[in-house]
Structure 1
Amino acid sequence: MEKRIMKVAYKMPPQENWNAFRDEKQTNENHITEKDYQAIIDAGFTHGMGLLEHGAEIAERALQVAEKVGLKYYVRDAVNWANILHPDYYYYNRDNYEKYAKYSSFAGLYVYDEPNANKYPDLAKMVQGYYDFFKGIGEPLVNLLPTYANEVEQLGAKNYEEYIEKYIQTVPTNYVLYDHYPFRVKNKVEEYLSEEYLYNCDVVAKACKKGGKQLRTFIQSAVMDNGEIELLPEIIDFQIHTHLAYGSRAIIYYYYWGDENRVDNKSGLVNWDGEPTELYYRAKKVHAEISEYEDKLCESKWQKTLYFKGQNKHLNEKEFSHFEIDNSNKFVFSYDGIVGLFDYKGKEAYYLVNYTNPRLGLENEVELNLDGDYYVWVGGQKAELKKGVNKITIPCGRGAFLLPIMKN
């Protein structure tokens, strides 16, 4: 069993003049370098995923550098950007793919992004074609739509639940991956938290549990909707802890490398010129914090996630009609929170999250009535909690993992 959470940097450092293939003037420096890739490793990432790299020569350069620093790398090529759904393509392009497969850094191919459910039968053949060609080397990566996709035109299903269920029934990946970017902007300046964020987590997590699949998720690390606001560093923690509370085993950043002419926290963990932003350092910090317990978390089986109402009404209540709201006194939050319930060797483990918009800066005081002794990790600190009533503080954007202390 994999005992690390995958942490994936999507939109990797670009090659020199990356946009030249479009005959546009481009003068950026080459960033497919050991220095730039080592910075990804230093921040605690396990994988990278291509976006700006075009052509086999660039992909192979990326694999070479990734191999030197110990980073796994997903290649994005014509299969993805041309939406190719013909399994024979692997054999037509075998010279390149056989080269890729020789690198220990090769993690697989980014095969398809946000398919319509009507494409699932052909996508299933494409995924199986990958397995047949690569014979156990790497994996095909497929990313599904979020809940805010248009049901008729995009989903190809009567509702989102059916969209996910059809994928699990049809496409032979051992995971379900989707993207949902929760920090949206109105009129370029007004930020709000998506009302369907937890609903999306809940639907896919439950479907994965039922179908025996691994849950994988994207997180937002760039401003959407052409917004002009800056993202707070706490949004990194907030999304990661929320997804871990739903049992996610992969966190993919959209995106790592920033856009041109933007030198702030609006577009990525690293600016276009290669300088880390506050988001980079926050990602590095939270990766280090969860590394203290991620092996135990990966040994735990997700059961369900409950929503707990605190003293203050959450800004976006619409989605919560879907959830089981816990009214017991086991966990009492001062503000809104969620708790993931996990089975750890026959006992309950818990993942608590301060589910308030990070821009509010609220600390969440939680009273816990525990039926045994527990270890707790919160904010990079480990402590022991005794059976009975305990109190902990979950900082803004943070989570807390509670693991039962097993008696000999």
Structure 2
Amino acid sequence: MQSPHQKLGPSRRTLLLGAGAAAAAAATAAPAAAAPAAQAPPVSGPTEASQVVAPDNLSVPSPDDLPLTGGPDFPIGLFWPPHPYESTAKRFTEIADAGFDFVISGNYAGDGNIFQYQLDLARTAGLQMLISDDIQIRNMSRWFSISDQPTDFLTITPAEAREFYTRARDAYGPYSSLAGFNFYDEPGAGWYPTLAKALAVSRELAPHLLPYINLLPSDDPAYYNSFVDVVKPSLVSFDRYPLLSDGREDGNYFHNWAIVRDAALRGNVPAWVFIQTLAYNGHREPTAAELLWQINISLAYGAKGIQYFTYWTPEAARGEGFGPALITVDGKRTPRYAAAKNINNSWLHPVGRQLKPLVSESVVHANETPLPNGTVGFTPTDLVTGVTGSPTVIGTFRSRDAASTDRWLLVANRSHSAASRTTLTFNPAKVTGVDVFHPVSAKFGANRGSGLPVNLPAGGAQLLHLHTR
């Protein structure tokens, strides 16, 4: 029976299941020479999450010490890359030129030799990869549960899980482009105990690799909070695609984002999101402004990583009625490739680098009536005393340094179809200066006066630095 969540977004689970099942046996090969109000997702898996806690003495590396989540650069990734026949140096350079940093494997790449070949291409292009290994990693995180009781149905022992992981690590570890492994896409909460054990194995055997899991869309906080509490993840990633047919928006998009934001803060880990790049059943083809809007709304809600669904277009036989993504089925660039390239290189990378080390403190909607479900309306603060003009979404951020009282505001246009004109007024007794970020120079410029007009294109945003006392 179809989950209600499959109606919210395309089933990436379907894509992953088909991504190389026929050829995945080669993933055991020896290493080559070094070179996305709904109900909560149904419980599906071996055990209720509430019945089993995370392993004892679990050592969880800081996200600051892992690929993609660590370092100063804001991670921009893609799902559904070029298929094996189009896995060429030219295609991987095309990905890097568009401002992407990492690739989640898929699109019929399931063979271990193909993974190694793609890792080599990624290394040359300056990209990183999260490998979706159906034989080694999925055997310990999806196809079987991990149990100390060998008589349990469809289980492997912890020792067997370590053996599976060791094989994958040794096969792909020689490639510096390996960022980590994709353990499970869109799990039900019943899989959390096994995922906790699988991540413990990963952290035991390769603490330098990112254990990646992407969650379903949901309007139930328990789904995400349990994930944080039980699995102890290195990040909280989810997919929800808000651009519906006939110009409509998903009415619970902001609600879902607010829940994910809270869960990520609860776990002190980054929040990542997928953005919609294509039309499919019940969803429309995004404009360039709608790509930008999804990104900036996500930044305002505290996103520390952006992922595109999809890069290459899934073929018609997969179902879901997929339209062209950034690259068509037959390898041609669409206008969304050029839009993504411009957004990634001229805006997202520079502004993301500023936002990545900051902590999301609040997110409010100003001048919007009625407020969307799950959102908080603007009320004056001791720093920002007024917001007038067009509907605006404002994310407030603070430094990790508790001694700093400065704040940063990401002011995002609420509209993806019209420009906005908004004026922010600041408390001169608290705010000594306001700097405006300029992405071309990647520097802040000083602004004079207690009121600041913010004029934004459709889907646009501006980053402000508030100096305080």
**TM-score range relative to shorter protein:** 0.7 to 0.9
Q: Contact (CA 8 Å) 2:422, 2:453: kept in 1 or not?
A: yes
Deviation readout 1:58-95 (Å, 9 max, x if unpaired): 11111111111110001112144964444524514644
Q: Which residue of 2 aligns with 1:142?
A: 213
1:84-114 Cα offsets, whole Å, 9 max, x none, are: 4445245146444312011000011110111
Query: Is the alpha carbon distance of 1:384 and 1:224 closer, same or farther for their aligned partners in structure 2, counting shifts above 3 Å?
Result: farther
Out of 278, 290, 300, the residue aligned to residue 222 of structure 1 is 278
| 1:396 and 2:458 matched | yes
Partner of 1:173, secondary structure, is coil
1:45 is matched with: 100
Matched with 1:363 is 419
CA drift at 1:169: 0.7
Map 1:275-294 onto structure 2 (within 5 A). 275-288=332-345, 289-294=347-352
- Checking the alignment, whether the CA contact within 8 Å between 1:257 and 1:271 is kept in structure 2 is yes
> Deviation per CA, 1:120-177, whole angstroms, max 9, x where unpaired?
11111111122223x22322111111126xxxxxxxxxxx111111111110222111
Partners of 2:244 and 2:282 within 8 A in 1: no
Partner of 1:375: 435
Compared CA separation, residues 61 and 182, structure 1 to 2 (3 A): same
Q: Cα–Cα, structure 1 residues 90 and 65, in superposed 2: closer, same or farther, change >3 Å?
A: farther
Instruction: Indicate if the aligned counterparts of 1:206 and 1:304 stay in contact, CA closer than 8 A.
Output: no
**Alpha-carbon spacing, 1:261–1:179, altered in 2? closer, same or farther (3 Å):** closer
**Compared CA separation, residues 333 and 7, structure 1 to 2 (3 A):** farther
SS in 1 for 2:86: coil
Unaligned runs of 5+ in 2: 1-63, 65-70, 147-157
Measured after TM superposition, the shift of residue 291 of structure 1 is: 2.7
Matched, 1:167 2:227: yes
Q: Distance in 1 between matches of 2:234 and 2:353?
A: 20
Structure 2 residue matching 1:281: 3-state secondary structure? helix
In structure 1, stretches of 5+ residues that fail to align are 16-29, 149-159
Q: Give distance in 1, aligned partners of 2:167 and 2:282.
A: 40
1:325 to 371, 377, 382: 377
Counterpart of 1:309? 367
TM-score (norm 1): 0.83
Match of 1:70 in 2: 126
Q: What's the RMSD between the two structures over aligned residues?
A: 2.6
2:74 corresponds to: 5
Task: Write the deviation string for residues 334-368 of structure 1: whole angstroms up to 9, x where unpaired.
Answer: 33211001113321110111112x2xx21110101
Secondary structure in 2 matching 1:166: helix
Structure 1 partner of 2:331 = 274
Percent identity reads: 22
Q: What letter matches 1:195 in structure 2? A: G
* 1:390 match: secondary structure: strand
Deviations 1:302-323 (A, max 9, x none): 101011124xx46xx551xx33
Counterpart code for 1:326: F
Asked whether the equivalents of residues 378 and 398 of structure 1 are also in contact (C-alpha less than 8 Å), the reply is no
Counterpart residue number, 2:13: none
Name 2:406's counterpart in structure 1: 347
Q: Secondary structure at the match of 2:279?
A: coil
Structure 1 residue 255 displacement after superposition: 0.8
* 8 Å contact kept, 2:80–2:314: no
Higher relative contact order (CA 8 A, sep 6+): 2
**1:22-62 alpha-carbon deviations (Å, 9 max, x no partner):** xxxxxxxx211111001111111111111111211111111
Aligned counterparts, 1:39-188, within 5 A: 39-52=94-107, 53-78=109-134, 79-80=137-138, 83-86=143-146, 88-92=160-164, 94-133=166-205, 135-147=206-218, 160-185=220-245
Asked if 2 retains the 8 angstrom alpha-carbon contact of 1:101 and 1:137, the reply is no
Structure 1 distance, partners of 2:248, 2:161, is 43
Count of aligned pairs: 366
SS state of the match for residue 285, structure 2? coil
Q: Could you tell me how far apart the structure 2 residues matched to 1:83 and 1:364 are?
A: 49
Q: 1:290 to 1:302 in 2, by over 3 A?
A: same
